[in-house]
Amino acid sequence: MTDLKLKPWPKFQGRPGPLLIVIMDGVGIGRKDESDAVHLARTPTLDRLLGSCPHTRLLAHGRAVGLPSWDDMGNSEVGHNAIGAGRVFDQGAKLVNRELASGGIFETPLWGQIVEGCRAGGALHFIGLLSDGNVHSHIDHLFAMIRQAAEMGVTRLRVHPLLDGRDVGATSALEYVEPLEEMLAELCREKDRDYRVASGGGRMVTTMDRYEADWNVVERGWQAHVLGESPNKFRTAAEAVRKIREEDPDMTDQYMPSFVIVDGEGRPVGPIRDGDAVIFFNFRGDRAIEISRAFEEEDFQAFDRKRRPDVLYAGMMEYDGDLKIPKKYLVNPPAIDLTLGEFLAANDITQFALSETQKYGHVTYFWNGNRSGYIDEARELYREIPSDKVPFDQRPWMKAAEIADETIRLLETGKYRCGRINFANGDMVGHTGNLDAAVMAVEAVDLSLKRVLEVVEQTNGIALVTADHGNSDEMFTVKGGERIVKTAHTLNPVPLIIYDPSCSGEYDLRTDLEGAGLSNIAATVFRLLGLEPPEAYDQSLVE
């Protein structure tokens, strides 16, 4: 068993006050042009920190956070995993790619059970995010599984695509829907198969809720996918996208209403029924947990399911290792162990984690290596501020002020040696594509950061200010002289700032560490607390 006790760092004993880690979600370092909401925002606090405090840049995308290539944008899940783990673990997309490339996924007993059940008369249903954003899912994974199912004799198959418009172009749905419907039609021509799209909807209004922010989102998905019910009925998914856009030209993919595909007589073509199999093909966990619970829980209270079909349900991965959600899954998730939080608890360091609902799971579940619940309830406090249930660009300040209020209260109690908070604004408002709102969002974070830092100074503490990935730092791109709204994360680096008002040269911040990324933060935290980091952790940025 690993000894979690850490030795003192002889060079620095830490400050008497707390160490506060501030995650400015989605606030990266952009080109400082008219597309960069972080640059356009009035940010006197950040400007002061960058002008007077030790700071550097960290990689927050691609291989620096365990994704397959440097072309892959980072995201909040892998970002918080990397910060909390202190090392880089291969993440969802990379693990699924490996299993599909080797064919290992198709040799599992679970895949065999799914195929066998469908050969016996059931339909195979795929539900998930349809894009190549590679944050929650990838269309290539879906296509590979559909083709393998066809080769193995599955005759009835239905797809329930959730439209992205967030990790990819805001109105790019047809780039994914049309190839999907073409492939399904091609497979039906090859043999006597019945493969169709059955239902769908935008990811922010259908199925993909997280952290129980709004169960109505999941209920709408259940009604469309399982019950075949929706006021919006179309003959094809491509028709659904086109006609919804005709009715509302400003509609972006992520907010498209749920819809159901019907036959010539107006009957839904693919409700989920007894004897069917369902694969939720997202590999990322946060927006897959609630729909999984709806399929699996006996005593389910979140909404009236009306009927719960007897199906074989499987996730692409295990979405919650502690709660065992779902019970069956195709690819094992990364086994993240020996997290920052575990070491802090083992060394009797009290800590708190705080955010609003939209990012609460990131400073708890993802930070702790995809693990629900407390590591050590006697030494930890987790606090959630309920998020507003409105489009984020309508209230771009979100809950930054309330997070600051609670952070200040907790710091002033003197009970906590270390805290971590997440301001969600830069990411959640950035995803709306609304530049003006994103500017306001960053300004709200800056104002709240100022208030928090004042208390850090008063309590003789240290603040480590950073981000988990970029977003608001690039709100549009220009192609052929035309602005194209960008709602996805960016490939930009993020800042790392050490705010230590009492510092008199006891340590130095390294700015020359090649390839430094989010995983270097954990070892840095230990040293700022006066402890030698674990040997297995990526290198500290202070020395």
pLDDT of 92: 84
Query: Tokens standing for 445?
Result: 């974070």
Q: Which architecture characterizes domain 19-91+336-528 according to CATH?
A: 3-Layer(aba) Sandwich (3.40)
Query: Tokens standing for 536?
Result: 């297995």
Judged by DSSP in three states, 73 sits in: coil
pLDDT of 323: 75
CATH 3.40.1450.10 range(s) for the chain read 93-331
Set 35, 52, 76, 230: catalytic member: 76
SS3 content of the chain, % helix, strand, coil (to 5): 35, 20, 45
C-beta neighbour count of 485 within 10 angstroms: 17
Asked whether the whole model's pTM tops 0.95, one would answer no
The amino acid occupying position 93 is A
> Strand 494-499 and strand 462-466: pairing?
antiparallel
pLDDT of 499: 98
| CATH superfamily for domain 93-331 | BPG-independent phosphoglycerate mutase, domain B (3.40.1450.10)
Tens digits of pLDDT across the chain (543 residues): 568 999 999 999 999 999 999 999 999 999 999 999 999 999 999 999 999 999 999 999 999 999 888 888 888 989 999 999 999 998 888 899 999 999 999 999 999 999 999 999 999 999 999 999 998 999 999 999 999 999 999 999 999 999 999 999 999 999 999 999 999 999 999 888 999 999 999 999 999 998 788 999 999 999 999 999 999 999 999 999 999 999 999 999 999 999 999 999 999 999 999 999 999 999 988 899 999 999 999 999 999 999 999 999 999 998 876 678 899 999 988 889 999 999 999 999 999 999 999 999 999 999 999 888 999 999 999 999 999 999 999 999 999 999 999 999 999 999 999 999 999 999 999 999 999 999 999 999 999 999 999 999 999 999 999 999 999 999 999 888 889 898 888 999 999 999 999 998 999 999 999 999 999 999 999 999 999 999 999 999 999
76 is a catalytic site residue: yes
pLDDT of 190: 85
Question: What residues have CB less than 8 Å from 496, skipping those under 6 apart?
Answer: 55, 56, 57, 58, 464, 465, 466, 521, 524, 541
pLDDT of 321: 67
CA–CA distance, 315 with 296 (Å, rounded to integer) = 11
CA–CA distance, 196 with 166 (Å, rounded to integer) = 25
CATH 3.40.720.10 range(s) for the chain read 19-91+336-528
CA–CA distance, 26 with 468 (Å, rounded to integer) = 7
pLDDT of 332: 86
Query: Tokens standing for 77?
Result: 């899940």
